[in-house]
Amino acid sequence: MLHSLANRRDAPAFLGAVGARGTPVRAVLVSAAVGFLCVPLEAARPGEADELAHAAVFLMENTFTAGITLDTDGGLR
């Protein structure tokens, strides 16, 4: 996704570069790094069980969920 955003000039240009095989290596590495940095944050403030259950029920009951972000507050309510 970062590679696509860089090609549209919505992200830094260095993320649009591809390797010899056409793989957007920089974009993949940056995405993976951000993902790994977010894991401890999620572990520190997990959502409540009822919030996760409501999100699961929402996904099962609705036939159209593309483009929807399910917000969980991580116990901040």
Give residue 6's pLDDT. Answer: 87
Chain-centroid distance, C-alpha 50: 22
Q: Does residue 55 form part of some domain? A: yes
Which candidate, 40, 38, 11, 39, places its Cα nearest to that of 26? 11
User: Is the per-residue pLDDT at 77 higher than 60?
Assistant: no
Q: Does residue 76 form part of some domain? A: no
The pLDDT tens digits of the residues spanning 10-22 come to 888 888 889 899 9
pTM of the predicted model, to two decimals? 0.54
Total residues found in the chain within this entry: 77
> What distance in Å separates the CA atoms of residue 13 and residue 66, rounded to the nearest whole number?
28
> What distance in Å separates the CA atoms of residue 29 and residue 56, rounded to the nearest whole number?
30
Q: Does residue 51 form part of some domain? A: yes
Count: domains in the chain: 1
User: Is the per-residue pLDDT at 73 higher than 80?
Assistant: no
The pLDDT tens digits of the residues spanning 50-62 come to 877 887 787 777 7
Q: Does residue 36 form part of some domain? A: yes
Q: Does residue 66 form part of some domain? A: no
Domain range for 54: 2-61
For residues 23-34, give the mean pLDDT: 91
Q: Does residue 41 form part of some domain? A: yes
Q: Does residue 69 form part of some domain? A: no
